[in-house]
Amino acid sequence: MGNAAWREDRYKENAAQAAQEFSYNEGPGITRADPKARTKPFRVRIRLDGYRSMTLCFDAENKTKALQYAQNRWPKAKCEVLL
């Protein structure tokens, strides 16, 4: 097996593993607010083991919903709403 073919196979394996590890259902009410809902921005810190923490802004109805949207998108992460 040539070096290029080995790299391509390795890439496919890594892509499949990442898709399994980070799979989630998305859509209004699951990972984001309904477009017709009255929302305001909330900053959420997401921490995944082995990765640097991310701080993202979610438009949500309240703090609880913002935290729920983050946890639905990253189920294995530790999420917290920042003030």
**Each residue of 45-68: pLDDT tens digit?**
999 998 899 999 999 999 999 999
Supply the pLDDT for residue 56.
94
pTM reported for the whole predicted model: 0.69
The DSSP secondary structure of 15-74, one letter per residue, reads HHHHHHHT----SBTTTB--TTS--EEEEEEEE-TTS--EEEEEEESSHHHHHHHHHHHS
Supply the pLDDT for residue 22.
64
